[in-house]
Amino acid sequence: MTKLGVNIDHIATIRQARQAIEPDPVAAAILAELAGADGITVHLRGDRRHIQDSDVRRLRETVTTRLNLEMAANEEMVRLACALRPDQATLVPEKPDEITTEGGLDAIASRDMIATAIKEMEKVQIQVSLFIDPDQAQIDAAAKLGASMIELNTRAFSEAAFRSPDLAGEVFTEELYNVAKAAEYGNQKGMKVLAGHGLTYRNVRIIADIPEIEELNIGHSIIARSSLVGLERAVREMLRAMRH
Ligand code: PXP
């Protein structure tokens, strides 16, 4: 069965919007695990716009499934990861002004930096995953770097799904094919294959059905839905607090 890693960055985004203490990503992680999540993912960004170092430290003490730290492959982050000891680190490209991760890593151009990051983190038993586009040359580069895991970027697939009312059509089929083919190729190269980015309740099944993909990382869609399915209860609880 395909595993689910839940990305809880948006919980920290809400907290940081008020520089408050709630909602706490640690509480969110516990609830996600109780609901059956196979892992918890957070992205510690250079600008610390949502998740903070202290969140990762507290999550490390709390998460009982797998803690996956998304991070840039730079010296500062590698040092932090080696100290914080997540189970897994996912290397992602990071641009200061981007709204979210925009594309996969360039495992060819950034080869040396990635190689150093993998070497340092594997020394302390952190498994390293590379977030790459579903592209054969990138998969070859990841395999050459000795990565044991890759996460295929499903952004192009998700955008094609958004524009396809019946999850069909030429562009949709091509993007789905790219992910499926990349998953098969990555698997043949001996790497564990994960996928994520932009997956939703509507488009997830077709990706979850790709046999070589072992795990999906999903954030926005789950946290967005939780804010709506939880709203009625939250309003009722506030009314109760006002009146009793
Ligand atoms: N995987 C990676 C590497 C990401 O950077 C993100 C976004 O933080 C996700 C998965 C999850 O994407 P989404 O929030 O669109 O589900």
State in Å: Cα 19 to ligand 1 middle. Answer: 23
Domain spans of the chain, in order of start: 3-243
Query: Is 0.85 surpassed by the pTM of this model?
Result: yes
What would the pLDDT profile of 15-64 be if each residue is shown by its tens digit? 999 999 999 999 999 999 999 999 999 999 999 999 999 999 999 999 99
For residue 220, give the ligand 1 atom closest to its CA.
14
Say yes or no: domain 3-243 is CATH 3.40.50.300.
Answer: no
Under 8 Å between Cβ of 226 and 28: no
Residue in 110, 76, 94 with CA at minimum distance from that of residue 9:
94
Q: What is the largest CA-CA distance in the chain?
A: 64
What would the pLDDT profile of 168-214 be if each residue is shown by its tens digit? 999 999 999 999 999 999 999 999 999 999 999 999 999 999 999 99
Distance, C-alpha 241 to centroid of its chain? 36
Under 8 Å between Cβ of 205 and 166: no
DSSP character at residue 52: -
State in Å: Cα 49 to ligand 1 middle. Answer: 15
pLDDT at 95: 80
What would the pLDDT profile of 123-177 be if each residue is shown by its tens digit? 999 999 999 999 999 999 999 999 999 999 999 999 999 999 999 999 999 999 9
Under 8 Å between Cβ of 199 and 160: no
Q: DSSP of 118-187, one letter per residue?
A: HHHHHHTT-EEEEEE-S-HHHHHHHHHTT-SEEEEE-HHHHHHHHT-TTS-SHHHHHHHHHHHHHHHHHH
**Confidence band for 96, pLDDT divided at 50, 70 and 90:** confident
Tell me the one-letter amino acid at 154. T
Active site residue ranges: 43, 70, 197
Whether pLDDT at 12 is above 80? yes
